[in-house]
Structure 1
């Protein structure tokens, strides 16, 4: 099939590369000319295991091309994916300005001879977005089109495997679809190569599909905060949280995953999606009290190591040096968005400490973000053991395999 991917961020790149790997012709669109130049030069802006090899092969064989020409991409494609940022707005809800702006631009390009198109919301978007995208396109569109929701369920660090062998694919068909069976059948055909192992393609209404993504991520965030709360209780009462984790994880109703206590969740999805679902609840008069607690526990957990450090060294950490292993929010990624390590870093330096930091992939991203903010209180090292030279203590903030 001929596909257009609007947006070359994390989701757009992974989707574009994997669709091309399955034999589709993919045109990826971005307005950032510098980024496009790097992509055409074979330089990926993200670190994701397995992606670079597939990217290089499909770009070389011209199944994956990059452009800033939206008109070319729209005319080239049968299916157009919107993989654009949806940053949190003032109330925590998703800001749809990029998604709806692109929808209006696409609508202006759908002329009477454009033929039938399917526009897919691939970004994580709040309930009702498919309706808004349809209305935005319809303002100027002269040809027939459908809008469907197809949320991504990618985990950073294993995103290529998640896309190529998904546990499920969710397709949400909007109420205003002129031919819902046509849209469904086209999407089934697109995803057929990815579901040969028998995993399901779930077809539902668009609003259910939209909320499914938020509910899935929020459920996982809730499990993390729950176990962190249990870990606090275990510490106070003399129990071992690892033994508790094993004791409950063998229960098939609970399962073993997302039961590890730690410094809290971060990244581009969980914090944003929990906030967005809370905002959606407020909008519709259905407060999400359990998610409000999830968020509060996570904020507390990011600083949970600091009282322990103060108990040993005192509140004034002047003259102390800490080795910090791990800066990314999780292993196997260079993503530092909402990373607990950055909170720990700031807390240590604000108390007078110096920090020697190491991360195998995320150090450059942190250097770019903090600049000279910490002066000589922060230095980055090339090897993790070098961070320990002259250090008074070691803080492990990310579970990279090499730290075990």
Structure 2
């Protein structure tokens, strides 16, 4: 089977790598020639553990190639994966312009039967629209099927998740299209659920929205824990032992970010409003997440008085560890707020870089030690392993004031307090 993956971003590149690892012949297509050239050289354009060695392996195997030639790539493919972005619009809805463009490209160049697979995260009903766009763009009628096959990848663990999925969701209108997809995934050892396209599309949004709900639930509970003098980590441990609840996504902190949860929750809310339905619980999930980081800032203000003229070390810029993705990162919101309050902010991250709009007002340091030199306070915003092994005894003497505000509740509070640090976490005194 010859598979074409259109879009070589985070999802597209990972999808192409895994399909090649499964033994299929895979071509990655992108209009960005510079990106294609880097991928041909075995150089991914984003940070994700394991991707670069897997990329080199599959290029060497001959099962993976990259191209910028749309017509030739579409004509040569049996199955076409759509993996382009669906960024949020101001009203929370998903921008489908790139999906539509790809669908029309497929229609114009359809020379034989193709199975079109939507891997991008799209609103309910998009599979039908893609089928209409492909059909309308054809110069002469050719048969094709469009199925929904949402991805469930965690940034920082995307390659592992793609190689070891916990489930595969296939939304197909026809039995034959569903069976083709099952045959393609025959080597995967996990449940495969074949359902309608609309159901598959909703499953993706519902899954991410539920996980976001767990995060906002424990974060809102952490505010009460602060007032009651209770350690929210112990509360999370206690309720997480209930198998009906589980421990995943019950780590209190400064909130969720990234390219998926904020966008997907907003899109699901927009879909509900479009159909005259209210999802009040999800609306509150968003509200909690929007304000959660401010509570840690309030703790810091209570300790420091204010931020004006004070140096704050910001550890972590990425929205989570093991990625360089700063989209909707809470660390960036904190940096912006600190700058607004006239603090001198020194940031460090092992992989992520500051957005252009903050480069003039925030210093990006090459080492943790440099960021913490003469600092009045440290904000830990991303739980990179590097930050868990800091020599706190050494850096304490270089700080102006030994104050630590742990936005992820990952540091050893007792040890740091014994060493003379003032420590505060989230829902943790």
TM-score by length of 2: 0.88
Deviation string for 1:228-257 (max 9, x for gaps)?
Answer: 000001111222211110110000110010
Counterparts of 2:88 and 2:175 in 1: how far apart (Å)?
Answer: 34
Shift in Å at residue 160 of structure 1?
Answer: 0.7
Residue 119 of structure 2 corresponds to residue 122 of structure 1:
yes
Specify the SS of the correspondent of 1:52. Answer: helix
Specify the SS of the correspondent of 2:65. Answer: strand
Counterparts of 1:60 and 1:265 in 2: how far apart (Å)?
Answer: 38
Shift in Å at residue 320 of structure 1?
Answer: 0.8
Q: What's the counterpart of residue 24 of structure 1?
A: 24
Residue 275 of structure 2 corresponds to residue 278 of structure 1:
no
Shift in Å at residue 41 of structure 1?
Answer: 2.2
Shift in Å at residue 310 of structure 1?
Answer: 1.1
Residue 208 of structure 2 corresponds to residue 214 of structure 1:
no
Specify the SS of the correspondent of 2:328. Answer: coil
Q: What's the counterpart of residue 369 of structure 1?
A: 356
Specify the SS of the correspondent of 2:187. Answer: helix
Counterparts of 2:160 and 2:18 in 1: how far apart (Å)?
Answer: 9
Deviation string for 1:199-247 (max 9, x for gaps)?
Answer: 2010000000000000000000010000000000111122221111011
CA change 1:287–1:265 in 2 (3 A) is: same
Shift in Å at residue 371 of structure 1?
Answer: 5.6
Contact 1:357 1:379 (8 Å CA) reproduced: yes
Shift in Å at residue 372 of structure 1?
Answer: 4.0
Contact 1:319 1:352 (8 Å CA) reproduced: yes
Out of 215, 220, 235, the residue aligned to residue 229 of structure 1 is 220
Task: Output the aligned Cα RMSD.
Answer: 1.2
Contact 1:74 1:109 (8 Å CA) reproduced: yes
Q: What's the counterpart of residue 177 of structure 1?
A: none
Q: What's the counterpart of residue 163 of structure 2?
A: 164
Deviation string for 1:330-377 (max 9, x for gaps)?
Answer: 0111100000100111111111111121111113xx1x5336441xxx
Residue 320 of structure 2 corresponds to residue 320 of structure 1:
no
Q: What's the counterpart of residue 384 of structure 1?
A: 368
Specify the SS of the correspondent of 2:346. Answer: strand
Q: What's the counterpart of residue 420 of structure 2?
A: none
Counterparts of 1:372 and 1:386 in 2: how far apart (Å)?
Answer: 17
Q: What's the counterpart of residue 100 of structure 2?
A: 100
Residue 234 of structure 2 corresponds to residue 243 of structure 1:
yes
Counterparts of 1:359 and 1:213 in 2: how far apart (Å)?
Answer: 30
TM-score by length of 1: 0.93
- Total equivalences in the alignment: 386
Counterparts of 2:240 and 2:228 in 1: how far apart (Å)?
Answer: 21
Q: What's the counterpart of residue 145 of structure 1?
A: 144
Shift in Å at residue 290 of structure 1?
Answer: 0.8
Specify the SS of the correspondent of 2:120. Answer: coil
Q: What's the counterpart of residue 381 of structure 2?
A: 397
Contact 1:171 1:201 (8 Å CA) reproduced: yes
